[in-house]
């Protein structure tokens, strides 16, 4: 499974499928990605390679997030307490259809209007 950032500077590749896929509704994910929640595909870190070492930001809780310093895409997350896995934003995968989320986490922080998204009008392209 391959993927990369919006501008293509950072690319990554893994030989295996994710261990699991989750929607994270925590405040740190919202803020760092700029989205109402983030869908993460969680991979074994050993299976994972980047074409270049991406820039990182380490939060006070020691969580490390990587991003592209050219286009700003949020790419990955890991934490020293969970050394063996790396979380990848599903939106960065070349084939995100293959990674539907299996569960929601941090739902105590979930925005109330997320549950109503199915009730608002759809437009198949920008209207």
Name which position in 22, 33, 42, 68 contacts Zn ion (CB under 5 A). 68
How far from each other are the two terminal CA atoms of the chain, in whole angstroms?
33
**Residue 113: CB minimum distance to Zn ion, A:** 18
Tell me the window of 2-10, 51-59, 96-104, 110-118 that interacts with Zn ion (CB under 5 A): 2-10
- 9 lies in the site for Zn ion, by CB under 5 A: yes
- 63 lies in the site for Zn ion, by CB under 5 A: no
Enumerate binding residues for Zn ion (CB under 5 A): 5, 7, 9, 24, 26, 29, 68, 70-71
């Amino acid at each position: 499974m391959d993927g990369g950032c919006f501008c293509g500077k950072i690319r990554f590749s893994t030989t295996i499928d994710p261990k699991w896929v989750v929607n994270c509704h925590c405040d740190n994910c919202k803020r760092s990605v700029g989205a109402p929640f983030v869908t993460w595909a969680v991979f074994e870190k050993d299976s994972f390679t980047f074409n270049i070492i991406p820039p990182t930001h380490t939060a006070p809780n020691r969580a490390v997030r990587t991003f592209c310093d050219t286009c700003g895409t949020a790419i990955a997350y890991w934490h020293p307490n969970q050394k063996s896995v790396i979380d990848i934003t599903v939106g960065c995968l070349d084939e995100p259809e293959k990674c539907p989320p299996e569960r929601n986490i941090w739902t105590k922080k979930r925005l109330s209007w997320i549950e109503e998204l199915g009730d608002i009008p759809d437009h198949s392209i920008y209207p």
